[in-house]
Structure 1
Amino acid sequence: MVRILFVILALACFAFMPSRVESAKILAVFPFRGPSQYILVQPYLKALAARGHELTVISAFPQKTPIKNFREITLKFEQVANHEELVSAAIEEMAGTKVQQLNLLKQYSLSSTEVALTNEEFQQLLRGNEHFDLIIIEALYLDALYALGSHFKAPMVGICASAADLAVDQLVDNISPVSYVPAPSGQQMDRLDIWQRLDNLYVYTLEWLYNRYVLIPAQQRLYERYFPNATLDLSEVRRDFSLLLLNQHYSYDLPRPLVPNAIEIAGMHVEHIPKKLPADMEAFINASPKGAIYFSLGSNVRSALLPKEKIKAIMDAFASLPVNVLWKFEKTDLPGKPNNVFINEWFPQQDILAHPKVKLFVTHGGMHSTVELLHHGKPIVGMAVFYDQHLNVQRAVSNGFGVAVNFQNFTSGELRDAILEVLNNPKYAERAKELSARFHDRPMKPLDAAVYWTEYVLRHKGAPQMRVAARHLNFLQRHSLDTMAILFGIPILLATLLTYILYKLLFALYSNVNNTNINLKKSKNE
């Protein structure tokens, strides 16, 4: 009986599901040269292609084997600074001032934007008559490219590989209350005392000013150069998104307000069925009776390019551990490598983290790595390098499933002690499992949600019903400064005028009384 009811319920749900969207022509643009952003979107783009949509994908990472419905335009980055040099500079700059960090972000985003716009195949696409039903684009400081929506007269879906920040929020007019929503590039959490709120306000203000008066004007120049016939102002183009997919989730992140067309999809890139590890990796993990740990600084920061003193400190820390260590190291040889360390240029990270004998992830705290360790319920030792990684590591510490080590000036002893603390204290692993259960407890898998809302935009011709009216307001109107000026300005003006009238009246009365007294004195003297 229960089975029959279940079947009837399933059929009823299927009957009320929205109809499948007809095949759409989609242009997807992801011009960043670092692979981490593309790692997030690749399963999503493949899922759309598998559903019959025809994709034209512009990125620096072509598929190794052709995919049906998946046409590619490959970007080349030879004409800009070497990526490794930029990352090495980033490591140094992130120890500097906030303005230095923002300058690096500007250089990175502008060069990525220009590489896309100067690509000849892409230019042919812009000059041609090809029609697209939807534009999917990286939504992080690529403002000139947001003109693609109006250029092709198609709705836009933005994907942000990190959590939302001030500039990303502006794309869909989401609000970021500075009193409790921390700046992603800061290091504060959501429960702030007055001094932390001041620091958060400082970071937000600096980022807003830099974005408004440096980043956007630089993108404006690219916009005018490569879209000379555009009729819309860049400020309108920036707010032309129908949907924003955010690589975050309140289960581990900080709960915050989101407008209807900002959807959390953290975890959509994670493989749900782990694959078997290569034999040498499997044997190395199993040879460690107390379990193993995995160390990676992500796809952008290369361990092999770290200063020699940092590499030595890491090796000394690992050599003193009672467990085996898998280290993502981008060279085939590491002089002095301890016997309990296995190096490789690449590891199947998700499959490594899924392994039951891998007990800990020593990580830079990138958003993808954070999501993957939460998916698999593993604790963390965080060594943040730049941008949102500091806040990601701080979240892990605050949520009780990890500890932090200062990447800029750690010692081998500090790194060893941090690893042993997490390995030997079961509270970190237990807390990681709790958060993992929370992370998985959703009505729909994140990849399914991303595909659903994308097709929702297609079904409803841009889904204008999801977009807040703030996009039609200027800065003064959006923040109610004009109404507050009326509300408080008129009473203040009236009070000032009344005060002035009273002053003049009292002054006149005083003058009359004074003149009368003088006249009386004169008359008495006479």
Structure 2
Amino acid sequence: MCAIKCIAIVVWILMCSLNSLESAKILAVHPIPGPSHYMFIQSYLKRLAARGHEITSVSPFPQKTPIKNIRDLTLQIDKSGHKERIINLIEEAYESKLDQLKRVRDYVTSSSLLVLRNEEFQKLLRSDEQFDLIIIEVFCQDSLYALGQHFRAPMIGVSPFSTDVVIDELVDNTSPVAYVPAPSGTNLDRMNFWQRLDNLYAYTIELLYNHLVIIPEQQRYYETYFPNATMRLTDVRKDFSLLLLNQHYSFSWPRPLVPNAIEVAGMHIDHKPSKIPDDMEAFINASPRGAIYFSMGSNIKSEFLPKHKLQDIMNAFASLPVNVLWKFEKTDLVGKPKNVYINKWFPQSDILAHPKVKLFITHGGMHSLIEAVHYGKPIVGMPVFYDQYLNVEKAVSKGFGLALNFRNFTSAELRDAILEVLNNPKYTELAREISATFHDRPMKPLDAAIYWTEYVLRHKGAPQMRVAARHLNFLQRHSVDTVVVLFAIPLLLILLITRLILVIFRGKDYVSKKLKHE
């Protein structure tokens, strides 16, 4: 079996070498200010550069050290008010779906202007420079999708948080509302009537908000910064050759995908973990029963947490028989237990790869969940915002995690959840089983992303992968016009026949009455 696998790998490498193509000039645009989003695309761009492609990367995150074939065009992030926004998010007890969408819009859509108003980027637009391919993050950035038209190049969309009904529209993918959950909810793929009703409501709100609020705003940007554009924004939105999606059915659910929507969850993970710093290694090894890693991600900083919540967390950690690594953004933490190691930054993927790290306490961000699945680690999830609730619910439903209410958990609840996952082997066993299915693919996710990217380059946009739905309007796509005709004709016939019968009977009745009268 191993020999067959090795032969398959060698054949694939040979195929890749045969399918190699000349160096391409690629414009990669990533305006979202969240570093976790950029993390998803970074390894992908580096691999493309290593294969000889020339990358112009537009993002708030330039390379720390220059990399051959990567040219950075750096966006400046306005961080004023960021701390207040995060604190409000942490303290918000309840948000409606509409409130969530508004918050996403405020966070994301303005980042389009980071690109469009950037002087270096404007010079690039006005220059004679040409690109063979545009790679862009697809998340409420519709005005930027005009770059494909502007440079007359095919576009690849990258979605760091998987897909939804709005992103599906970009390649005319179908999102069956009866069994594909909206990411803003907590429903899974098997829903009862009320859950399906809630899912329909979420889908409707997302579509309406996108088409009535976000797209009109992006339309104004589009008209202002691309005054010579010849395509309508509605057509520009469907001009994608390929979508790379940060998802995989092994830890979510199977769902329909068109040929040019490719699942590449895990492509940001280096498959050869690096050695972690000596002090972290020593702290992990000093715990006979293993260690725990705790991080709330790059946006929800632990230093922003209320004092009472920090105290609850410390009390829970102090009562544990294991050491805890805690991503904490300050250099000191008053009252820190002896079994807790704090640091502003941890090499998260490498930490989770460590065999003695037994549990991951996480906010449930998509990257964190994928890394937990990749390394087969169970979780205790404390979601805060948007898709994090559904991500944690996936882990709970699959049996490799527990969930806590981040806004009102107690110290005892946190301790009990941690001990339950640590002491009950079923969580780790199920995490490893799901990890095995996650890894069992014909091609590693980054290799798949590179293959399909170069496929688009080789085949000049690969129009053969795109479904014909892009040429149909809403009524045609959903067969409303044909269904109306299909049912209207029999209905008309029934009405005509009924009318005719009534006329005949009335006629007979009239004749009968006349004869009686005579």
1:524 corresponds in structure 2 to: none
Matched, 1:395 2:394: yes
Mean alpha-carbon deviation: is it higher for 386-395 or for 272-281?
Answer: 272-281
Listed as ranges, the gaps of 5+ residues in structure 2 are: none
In the superposition, relative to structure 1, how do residues 502 and 312 fare at CA in structure 2: closer, same or farther (>3 Å)?
Answer: farther
CA distance 1:345–1:515, shift in 2 (3 Å): farther
Structure 1 position 439, deviation (Å): 1.0
SS of the residue corresponding to residue 158 of structure 1 reads strand
Report matched runs for 1:171-250 at 5 Å: 171-250=170-249
Distance 1:93 1:115 in 2: 28
Give the SS at the match of 2:14.
helix
- Normalising by structure 1, report the TM-score: 0.94
Query: Quick one: distance in 2 between partners of 1:8 and 1:395?
Result: 33
Helix, strand or coil at the partner of 1:342: strand
> Equivalent residue for 2:327?
328
Shift of 1:507: 4.1
Distance 1:493 1:243, change over 3 A: same
Distance 2:5 2:36 in 1: 45
2:247 maps to 1:251: no
Cα distance in 1 between the residues matched to 2:450 and 2:160: 16
Residue matched to 1:465: 464
Q: Is 1:496 matched up with 2:483? A: no
Contact 1:94–1:100 under 8 Å retained in 2: no
Q: Distance in 1 between matches of 2:161 and 2:3?
A: 43
Contact 1:144–1:223 (8 Å) recurs in 2: yes
8 Å Cα contact 1:93/1:100 also seen in 2: no
SS at match of 1:105: helix
Are 1:303 and 1:328, in contact at CA under 8 Å, matched by a contact in 2?
yes
Work out whether residues 93 and 101 of structure 1, in 8 Å CA contact, stay in contact via their aligned partners in 2.
Answer: no
The alignment-based identity, stated in percent, is 64
Q: Residue 373 of structure 1 corresponds to which residue in structure 2?
A: 372
User: How big is the shift at 1:92?
Assistant: 4.8
CA distance in 2: counterparts of 1:232 and 1:181, whole angstroms: 32
Shift of residue 308 of structure 1? 2.3
CA distance in 2, matches of 1:8, 1:269: 23
Q: State yes or no: 1:139 paired with 2:142.
A: no
Supply the AA of the counterpart residue of 2:32.
Answer: F
**1:103-502 counterparts in 2 under 5 A?**
103-502=102-501
Q: How far apart, in 2, do the equivalents of 1:357 and 1:503 lie?
A: 85
Whether 2:73 is the aligned partner of 1:57: answer: no
Conserved 8 A contact 1:183-1:204: yes
Alignment partners' CA distance in 2, 1:88 and 1:5: 50
Alpha-carbon RMSD across the aligned residues, in angstroms, is 2.2
The 1:420–1:58 alpha-carbon spacing in structure 2 relative to 1, beyond 3 Å, is same
Report how far residue 337 of structure 1 moved.
Answer: 1.5
Cα distance change of structure 1 residues 11 and 282 upon mapping to structure 2, 3 Å threshold: closer
1:17-96 equivalent positions in 2, closer than 5 A:
18-78=18-78, 82-92=81-91, 95-96=94-95
Distance in 1 of aligned mates of 2:473 and 2:84? 40
Give TM-score scaled by structure 2 length: 0.95
- In the alignment, structure 1 segments of 5+ residues that lack a partner are 521-526
* Matched residue SS, 2:109: helix
SS at match of 1:190: coil
Larger radius of gyration: 1
Distance 1:242 1:322, change over 3 A: same
Equivalence for 1:523: none
CA contact (8 A) 1:90 1:104 kept: no
Find the residue that maps to 2:270 and give its secondary structure.
coil
User: For 2:252 and 2:7, how far apart are their aligned partners in 1?
Assistant: 37
After superposition, the Cα gap between the structure-2 partners of 1:483 and 1:11, relative to the gap in structure 1 and judged at 3 Å, is closer
Q: Secondary structure at the match of 1:192?
A: coil
**CA offset digits 1:171-222 (Å, max 9, x no partner):** 1111111111111111111111222111111111111111121111111111
Distance apart, 1:121 and its partner CA: 0.6
Distance 2:400 2:4 in 1: 43
The separation in 2 between residues aligned to 1:12 and 1:114, in whole angstroms, is 42
Residue 333 of structure 1 aligns with an amino acid whose one-letter code is D
CA-CA distance at 1:91 after TM superposition: 3.7
Task: Give the aligned residue type for 2:324.
Answer: V
Q: CA deviation at 1:267?
A: 0.7
Q: 1:501: Cα distance to partner?
A: 3.5
CA distance in 2, matches of 1:12, 1:233: 41
CA positional deviation for 1:365: 0.9
> Aligned equivalents of 1:10 and 1:206: distance in 2?
49
Structure 1 residue 6 displacement after superposition: 7.7
Counterpart of 1:30 in structure 2: which amino acid?
A: H
CA distance in 1, matches of 2:265, 2:6: 30
How far apart, CA to CA, are the structure 2 residues paired with 1:151 and 1:13?
35
**Does the 8 A contact of 2:97 with 2:184 survive in 1?**
no
Measured at CA, do residues 451 and 181 of structure 1 come closer, stay the same or move farther in structure 2, by a change above 3 Å?
Answer: same
Aligned 8 A contact 2:90 2:305 in 1: no
Task: For residue 498 of structure 1, report the CA deviation from its aligned partner.
Answer: 2.9
What's the CA shift string for 1:343-393, capped at 9, x where partnerless?
A: 111111011101111100000111111111111110010111111111111
d(CA) in 1 for partners of 2:8 and 2:361? 48
- CA–CA distance in structure 2, aligned partners of residues 117 and 334 of structure 1: 41
